[in-house]
Every structure is written in C-alpha cells, then in structure tokens.
Amino acid sequence: MPKAYKAEAMVEVQIIQGSKVIDISEIQESIKTYKDDTLKDILKKVKISPIRNSQNMAKIEVEGTSPQIAKENLEKAVEIINKKLFPQKVEELKKKYTIRLNSINQTISDVSSKNNIIYDPSKMVDLLTEKEQIQKWLQDPKFVILATDIQASSKPVRPKPLLYTLIGFITGIFLGIFVALVLEAIKSRKVN
C-alpha cells in the first residue's frame, strides 16, 4: 500500500454585504458531484468541514504521496474550488454585484452632487467599504481563501502497519477458532 501524507489548512469563505458568497455545504456537494475526470483525482482526496461556532471558516484536508505533493494538492484544490467548480454561480454573482455596485455609485453620486441631501456619514463609509469589497471580488472572483499556512504531516497517515498487523492477528485468531469449531462439529456428526 503506498504511503499517504495529509496537508491541512483553514480556509475562509468570502463574505460580501454581510453574507457568505457560498455555503460550505455547497462546496462539499460540488466536490462530490464534480464531473471533470482530470481533476477528479485531486477532489476525491479533499475533505472540507466547517469549524464549530464559525460562520465562514472551514478546515480543508488533502492527501498526497509526499508532504510536498499533499501541499500542492491542497493548493490545487483551493484553486479548483475558486475557478472550476462554480462557473454558473460566478456569472450569477457578477450580475448581482454589478447591479449592486451601480446602485452604490448612484447613491454616492446623488449624495455628493446635491448639498441639501442629509446622509449619515457612517452609512457612507459602509457603502464605500461594500463597494471596495465588491470591486475586489469582481476583479478576482474567489469563494474561499487560505486563512492559515498549509501544514503537511511529516509522517504518513496511511498505511498504518501496526494497526493492520493487529487486525490481521485478531482476525487470524477468530478464523482459527471458527475453523476448529467447524471441524469439531463435523467430527461429532460423523461419530453419531
């Protein structure tokens, strides 16, 4: 059995307008149902799970044949999630955020051109922050970003020779007892 090493990192799901761009369960489902054969090998090794008490953080784990390959697989997995899994969702969000951006620009234009409009400065700051977030996302659409460095295991996570030996030993004992009982039952039937 070939050795397998694990790489893991924390990822942050992008938030715009106070809501997540995508839900972690959507990512999990898309990874399971992804059709492209060239990328399926990497995705079948990906495990992504939400972090308790966090709305937008998740832990992503990927395996590889060496620590370096495990790290590279994790980087590829994040890239696949951001660029390949959700092309239709990217287009939907681009349309939605472009409309919102136009609305923000119109509001800012109205406030700055008409001196008699009273507008709360904190709301203006919120609009400018939202505008910046949307522009940044539209330039480089991403669903998740690495929140921590990638950590790779120095020891293989599979195979576990001691565990497999123990399981084989115990199975052998039970199989031996079973065969002995069957043989004894056959002998006692022949005698009767």
* The model's pTM: 0.73
Nearest to 140 by CA among 57, 79, 99: 79
* Distance between CA atoms of residues 40 and 82, nearest Å: 15
Q: Which domain holds residue 118?
A: 87-141
Residue 182 lies in a domain: no
Q: Is 174 exposed, middle or buried (0-12, 13-18, 19+ CB in 10 A)?
A: exposed
125 with 69, same domain: the answer is: no
Q: Are residues 17 and 105 in the same domain?
A: no
Residues 3 and 71 placed together within one structural domain of the fold: yes
Same domain for 97 and 123?
A: yes
48 in a structural domain: yes
What's the rounded Cα separation, in Å, for the pair 48 and 55? 14
Per-residue pLDDT of the chain (192 residues; tens, 9 = 90+): 778 899 999 999 988 877 888 888 888 888 888 877 677 777 888 899 998 888 889 999 999 889 999 999 999 989 989 988 888 999 999 999 999 999 999 888 887 777 666 677 788 888 899 999 999 999 999 999 999 999 998 888 877 667 777 888 899 999 999 999 999 989 888 876
Q: Which helix (H) or strand (E) covers residue 10, if one does?
A: strand 5-13
Residue 184 domain-assigned?
A: no
Residues 57 and 151 in one domain: yes
Number of domains observed in the structure of the chain:
2
Say whether both 81 and 161 belong to one domain: yes
